Amino acid sequence: MRILIVEDEKKVAKALKTGLEDEQFEVVLSETGEDGYFLASSGSFDLIVLDIMLPGRSGLEILSALRKQQIGTPVLLLTARGTVEDRVRGLDGGADDYLTKPFAFAELLARIRMLLRRGRPNEILRFKCDGLEMDLVTRKVVRDGVRIELTPREFELLEFLLRQQGQIVSREMLACDVWREPHRVVTLDNVIDVHIARLRQKVDQPGQLKLIHTVRGAGFVLGETEP
Ligand code: CA
């Protein structure tokens, strides 16, 4: 899941980015209102953490411009002042939640998870194959009850394979959907293969049923049975 953080205080921004990346989220950071608005209006994020006091456009201006454009990405506002007016304006303007600075990272994480869950009532947020389970909200992956630590890219790769469970996933598809490179190139193929190999080492431990299969000349399949 991709989170956009729009925050001009470098220290806070960096701490948030590191913390969320540790929780397996893909994080994009923006330090100005203009840049934040530009990124947010792409609509390609699952959640936006938006500071109110920003150089250029304020968080509230960004929020209202996004909602006018029918971009409904959940927004968690950060307010330094914590004044009633700010909160009311934010919530009236289409914010989904707010947090007053200074806040504990654990609280931010709890709010983010709640918003991500709430925003997708009909979407599948959990995948399972044999003893392998992935929870998209808590970002946890376990196999036979044992936690598997993945990098954000490995997480996305496994999520993609689990979504297409039992079907062949080509390197073109992975290049496009996981690496977001529309054109397949040989160097990227190598990168994909390296990531698949690392993922396989983590997911398929010795003695466990093999779940990630290579289909020669075609790509990969995740499933309980060999393709
Ligand atoms: Ca600020």
pLDDT-derived band at 117 (thresholds 50, 70, 90) equals confident
Reading the block at residue 67, the tokens are 């909602």
Q: Which of 12-26, 110-124, 152-166, 180-194 has the lowest mean pLDDT?
A: 110-124
CA of 112 to the centre of ligand 1 (A): 19
At 15-63, the pLDDT tens digits run 999 999 999 899 999 999 999 999 999 888 999 999 998 988 999 999 9
User: pLDDT tier at 74 (50, 70, 90 boundaries)?
Assistant: very high
> What's residue 10's pLDDT?
95
Label residue 226 by pLDDT band (50, 70, 90).
confident
* Cα–ligand 1 centroid distance for 213 (angstroms): 48
Q: How confident is the model at residue 174 (pLDDT cuts 50, 70, 90)?
A: very high
All residues with CB under 5 Å from ion ligand 1: 8, 51, 53
CB 148 within 8 A of CB 137: no
With b for 16 or more beta-carbon neighbours within 10 A and e for fewer, the 48-85 pattern comes to: bbbbbbbeebebbebbbebeeeebebbbbbbbeeeeee
pLDDT band for position 122 (50/70/90)? low
Residue 200 above 90 pLDDT?
Answer: yes
C-alpha 189 to ligand 1 mean position (Å):
41
| Per-residue model confidence (pLDDT) at position 137 | 83
Instruction: Please tell me the distance between residue 29's alpha carbon and the centre of ligand 1 in angstroms.
Output: 13
The number of C-alpha atoms within 13 Å of 56 and in the hemisphere containing its C-beta is 15
